[in-house]
Amino acid sequence: MYIIDCLYGRIDFKKKVYRCMLSPEMQRLREVRLGNINSLCLTGSANSNRYEHSIGTAYLAKVNIEANKTSFPREYEEAFVLAALFHDLGNGPFGHSYEYIVQKQGFDPEKSIADVILGIKTGPHGKIGTCEPFYLGLQNEISSILNKNDIYTIDKIVRGENPYCSKILSSSIDIDNIDNVYRMAFHMGINIDKRAPIELAKGLICIDNTIYFKESAIPYLYDWYETRKKLYLMLLYNPQDFAAKCMLSELMENVLIREKDIIKWQFTDSELMERIRSIEGEYWKEDALIPISLNEGLISKDFENENSIRDTMNRLGIEISDKAKVAIIKGNNKSIVFSYYNTEYVFCDGSLYKKGRRIITCPQALATRLMSGDLYGCIGIFVSKQIEYYDLFTNVEKKNQLEMECNYCIEKTGVKNLLISFHGIIDKNKTNRQLEIRLESGELFQIGTNTHDLIIGVFVKSLNYGLKHHEIPSSKRDRIVSLIHDFLLNKGIDSREHTMYSEAKCIEN
């Protein structure tokens, strides 16, 4: 058996590595995308998978060992290659897209390799039962190929606990992200130097848990930095990729909130989509605060008693008849809750809301739209340095409230039938990652700078503005972009609009 790889050509491994490669645990990764989304426009990245990346990373581990025979500990050679092969075993469907949503529940793929291999029944990677199938109805096999001591040695390497080789696999630049960057870039059509990943793997040395580089690696370090920048500009800023990530996140968040056991981490990408499309019921509903008046000069005195409430509501165009009973349920300096006609209203922070029910998109229909390419239309992409607001776009309740308030502001201008959806991405050392390079000689130098940006995608959920339907007229879009910029600014987020599709220029250079 041999492997033909798009970057490295022919690859050969020892028999035990091939046996592990053929296990259900590894074969499942053929059905989990490397790009974290079924990309409609970045077609090459949509079809590369974590199986080929794992093989590529294992090969770079082998290259590293062979280039550093005198310094690499012999007793860890096999374990290091297997650790590189297994490092993505614990990834969920759609890779990091799933991980970002469930990481608050303790889901960490790189901390769970032994749990996955041994079929541990507790924690985020736990099995429901001993005989629960892993993939295609098959049971775990790696535990019958390797002994327990070897498995825990591999687990420690992936966890970052081996001082001789962990940092070669996981650091600011390592064989994992070296293969990832060049593999994704190659598939995406970015011009690459195929010598670079090999020469970087040869040039990496770990001594006393510290990474050093040989001087021969210096030009390739600069090449990796520039290639990574081009790659992540495409991955983070392509409007259709962004829209797909927004839709996938909405799907998984809403399913996991309501039916948390319906998604299993060991699903493949297609298994996840098929499971979601099998969910019965047209719509979900949840409690919500529906905006009535946002920051329009209202004060607490407007709601201090029944008469002032009637006057204020009438002024807002909401007539309360003389027969209707108005009851103040709760009132303090921060908020006032009152009701009439069995409807509750909340006044807080200068704004008035009505308690109601919010309809959430049918999961079956949204999954079908996502997989068939009928993506949300992109209004715009905004970039802010205020990454502390990231939680506003990742906390489901806060994001839902933000969207309703934004929709209210847009409707007030006379623009109807637009349902806005936000999706936030943190660019923390992605498009730019500063490298602190230490050479064998002891010389230190830096390459590049770090990015710390909050990227906010703004999309239209409405079906009539989906990718298969109508584009938003440019004059209308410009008006909405200006409204959203002011809306975000009112929330404390100072941002600039990204020029749509400008990221594609990196492919041309």
Residue 412: predicted pLDDT: 82
Is the residue at 367 inside a domain? no
- What pTM did the predictor assign? 0.89
Dihedral sign of CA atoms 194, 195, 196, 202 in order: positive
- Give pLDDT, residue 253: 87
When divided into structural domains, the chain yields a total of 2
Q: Which residues, including other chains, have CB under 8 Å from residue 271's CB and lie 6 or more apart?
A: 31, 93
Three-state secondary-structure class, residue 14: coil
Mean model confidence pLDDT for the chain = 90
pLDDT per position as a tens digit, 371-400 = 999 999 999 999 999 999 999 999 988 998
Q: Which domain, by its residues, includes 230?
A: 3-245
Is 393 a member of any domain?
no
Tell which of 217, 245, 273 closes a domain.
245
Q: Assign 3-class secondary structure to 356-417.
A: EEEEECCHHHHHHHHHHCCCCEEEEEEEECCHHHCHHHHCHHHHHHHHHHHHHHHHHCCCCC
Cβ neighbours of residue 97 closer than 8 Å, sequence gap 6 or more:
36, 37, 245, 248, 249, 252
**pLDDT tens digit string along 460-469?**
998 888 898 8
CA-CA distances (angstroms) from residue 234 to 35, 81, 185, 186, 365?
Answer: 11, 31, 10, 13, 28
Pair 31, 92 in one domain: yes
Q: Average the pLDDT over each of 192-196, 269-273, 310-314 and give the range with the smallest value.
A: 310-314
Distance CA 124, CA 133 (A): 16
Considering the domain architecture, whether residues 176 and 319 belong to the same structural domain is answered as no
| 255 part of a folded domain | no
Least confident span in 194-198, 302-306, 338-342:
338-342
Residue 65 lies inside a defined structural domain of this protein: yes
Dihedral angle computed from the Cα positions of residues 395, 398, 400 and 405, in that order, rounded to the nearest 10 degrees? -150
In sequence order, which residues have a C-beta less than 8 Å from that of residue 192 and are 6 or more positions away?
A: 182, 185, 186, 227
Angle between helix axes 50-67 and 175-188 (nearest 10 degrees) is 130
pLDDT for 110 equals 80
| Same domain membership, residue 94 and residue 26 | yes
Residue 284, pLDDT > 80, answer: no
Contacts of 104 (CB under 8 A, 6+ apart): none
Averaged pLDDT, 69-87: 96
Confirm if 408 and 484 have CB atoms less than 8 A apart. no
Q: How many CB atoms lie within 10 A of CB 250?
A: 23
User: What is the pLDDT, as a whole number, of residue 122?
Assistant: 62
20 closest CA partner among 138, 136, 140: 140
| Helix 363-372 vs helix 239-258: crossing angle, to nearest 10 | 150
Predicted local confidence at residue 411, as pLDDT = 84
What number of CA atoms fall less than 13 Å from residue 29's CA on the CB side? 21
- CA 101-104-109 angle, 5° bins: 75
Is residue 401 a part of any domain in this protein? no
Residues 223 and 311 in one domain: no
Q: Phi/psi at 352 (nearest 5 deg)?
A: -115, 135
- Average the pLDDT over each of 96-110, 195-209, 363-377 and give the range with the smallest value: 96-110
Convert the pLDDT of each residue in 117-138 to its tens digit. Answer: 987 756 666 655 556 778 888 9
Q: Check whether 314 has a pLDDT greater than 90.
A: no
Same domain, 180 and 296: no
Share of the chain above pLDDT 90, in %: 60
Share of the chain above pLDDT 70, in %: 95
Task: Output 373 or 412, whichever has higher pLDDT.
Answer: 373
Instruction: Tell whether the model's pLDDT for residue 282 goes beyond 70.
Output: no
* Same-domain status, 206 and 78: yes
- Rounded to whole angstroms, how far apart are CA atoms 427 and 44? 22
Residues 225 and 334 in one domain: no
Q: How far apart are CA 80 and CA 87, in angstroms?
A: 10
The values of phi and psi at residue 339, to 5°, are -145, 155
Please tell me whether residues 312 and 194 are part of one structural domain. Answer: no
